[in-house]
Amino acid sequence: MHPLFSPFKLASLPLTNRIVMAPLTRARAPDDVATETVALYYTQRATAGLIVSEGTPISREGQGYLFNPGIYTPAQIAGWRLTTQSVHAVGAKMFAQLWHVGRVSHPSIQTDGIDPVGASSKTAQGAMAYGLKDDGTPGMVATTQPRQLATDEVARVVQDFANAAANAIEAGFDGVEIHGANGYLLEQFLNPLVNDRDDEYGATTMDNRLRFALAVVDAVVARIGRERVGIRLSPYGRLFDMPLYDDIAATYMALVAALGERRIAYVHIMDQSGYGMNDKAAGPTVSDKIQDLLRAFRTTLPETALILAGGMTRERADQLIADGVIDLAAFGQLFISNPDLVARLRNGWPLAAPDRSTYYGGDARGYIDYPPYAAQA
């Protein structure tokens, strides 16, 4: 059997294979509540061993896209419950990705049009949110200058993560993935060229920069247990105006070592080189650097699984798993247009290309209408 299709035990959770459906923002939830259509979308893809939900805002404040199903109200908990029950009926496990975008938002998404909040007072230059345009219609809008979270507000945001984790378990999720990647709130604290704070969460020391991320992990673990907690990270990522800095490797080595001490279920690494993030100068590519980090992480994660996403293929996944570099392989955009991706990878069937114009918002088109390979044949 190919490594990719072998069973795996994620903490105490048995997975039927090592294929992960990566989180994918689709903006198909009216009133920010998961619907029957959302449940069908995930159920179509539930032959994956593990599904990580689209980014699920922990609060209205944490939202950067309209029509994203949150996890902070009773209606949202009830909406997600249909999805988790349906996914479990097919045999997959499902984690909710807990999301606070920080500065990557827009007043049109916020309550009463207030400014977004973030770790930093710096605007994410060139970044876009999915909000309301000047004519009142949904679309991509430039992010605005955030209000820096006051020191006494940080603990409240930490508790928002913990409350959302408890809500996710109530909704039937098997666990949660804390979103610490892609330029969102946790990474805004981690990056010393974005973090302009002068308190105990500021950039003067590495411990200060790590403090918020570890506080969130500790609060979530205390609420739902370490075996139900994962985190997503994106070393060398530059999405949403996240500049590179000298001690990236040291920062993530220190963070992952601390996560290893906490023995959480998994660390999920996002390789952003497919977004044009590869180094322009001669030398190791972003993917090479991340693979080196993954090998180093192994020494500090004796009980924690490693997942890699970004530019994944069956061949690459098999090799990385066989070499012991990762435990699970995450596939993102391929799951959009191939609801039967597991079968296609297993049998070597052709892969359908996604329609990028239907990625965000809209109706069933480009969401639940991609046929399985057998239907096409």
Please identify every residue annotated as catalytic.
184
The answer to whether residues 33 and 79 touch, using CB atoms and an 8 Å cutoff, is yes
**3-state class of 232 per DSSP?**
strand
Taking alpha carbons only, the member of 322, 367, 370 closest to residue 344 is: 370
φ/ψ of residue 190, rounded to 5 = -70, -35
Taking alpha carbons only, the member of 214, 225, 171 closest to residue 13 is: 225
Taking alpha carbons only, the member of 154, 151, 158, 263 closest to residue 220 is: 158
The answer to whether residues 160 and 220 touch, using CB atoms and an 8 Å cutoff, is no
Angle at 142 between CA 96 and CA 194, to 5 degrees: 70
Taking alpha carbons only, the member of 259, 256, 263, 255 closest to residue 226 is: 263
Instruction: Give alpha helix (H) positions in the chain.
Output: 36-44, 74-90, 151-170, 185-190, 206-224, 248-262, 286-297, 314-322, 333-337, 341-347, 373-376
